[in-house]
Structure 1
Amino acid sequence: MGEQKRKNEAQTEFIFGKKNYTFMLIGLAFIGIGFLLMSGGGSDDPNVFSDAIFHWRRIRLAPTLVLLGFAIEIYAILLNPHKK
């Protein structure tokens, strides 16, 4: 009986399953790509204004990717790993 108890203790169960971690990595990739696309667009000379900061990539695409990444993360957390 003691051996059975040790065997049960050795089989620890994770909170999240493989599917959850896969979606979490996908969400992190979306967030990372979004922040990379948001960077740049400044000017080296403080006296010169650059319109590059208002490019559609920084204003529309990058924040959309970040929000989509956060939505994927929420889905990954709420996904039931035991349901097939």
Structure 2
Amino acid sequence: MDNNKKLAFGKKNYRLMLLGIVVLILGFTLMTMDKEQYGFGLLGLTVGPVVVMAGFIIQFFAIFAKSKETK
């Protein structure tokens, strides 16, 4: 067995993934904080979904970012 197995992603990738997860949680939390009925206010329809989309975009870049450690 090879003891020098490398992880699939580098440290930069994992940090970006963690940041993306935090942004996703923040976006979903913002959507639940909307006081309008059925979430039809500004937080539920505009701000929250934009933050969630930003979290998914960060995740996309975290997966496809080149790391100096993985070659």
TM-score in same-fold range (> 0.5): yes
Question: Which residue of 7, 10, 13 corresponds with 1:14?
Answer: 7
Residue 68 of structure 1 aligns with an amino acid whose one-letter code is A
In the alignment, the residues of structure 2 paired with residue 82 and residue 52 of structure 1 have an alpha-carbon distance, to the nearest angstrom, of: 46
User: Residue 57 in 1 paired to residue 50 in 2?
Assistant: no
User: Residue 73 in 1 paired to residue 66 in 2?
Assistant: no
- Normalised by the size of structure 1, how large is the TM-score? 0.71
Residue identity over aligned pairs, in percent, reads 30
Between the two proteins, the alignment pairs up a number of residues equal to 69
Greater Rg over alpha carbons, structure? 1
In the alignment, the residues of structure 2 paired with residue 78 and residue 63 of structure 1 have an alpha-carbon distance, to the nearest angstrom, of: 23
In the alignment, the residues of structure 2 paired with residue 33 and residue 41 of structure 1 have an alpha-carbon distance, to the nearest angstrom, of: 13
Q: Where does structure 2 lack aligned partners over 5 or more consecutive residues? A: none
In the alignment, the residues of structure 1 paired with residue 34 and residue 53 of structure 2 have an alpha-carbon distance, to the nearest angstrom, of: 21
Q: Where does structure 1 lack aligned partners over 5 or more consecutive residues? A: 1-5, 43-49
In the alignment, the residues of structure 1 paired with residue 58 and residue 34 of structure 2 have an alpha-carbon distance, to the nearest angstrom, of: 28
- Normalised by the size of structure 2, how large is the TM-score? 0.82
In the alignment, the residues of structure 1 paired with residue 45 and residue 33 of structure 2 have an alpha-carbon distance, to the nearest angstrom, of: 12
In the alignment, the residues of structure 2 paired with residue 56 and residue 41 of structure 1 have an alpha-carbon distance, to the nearest angstrom, of: 7
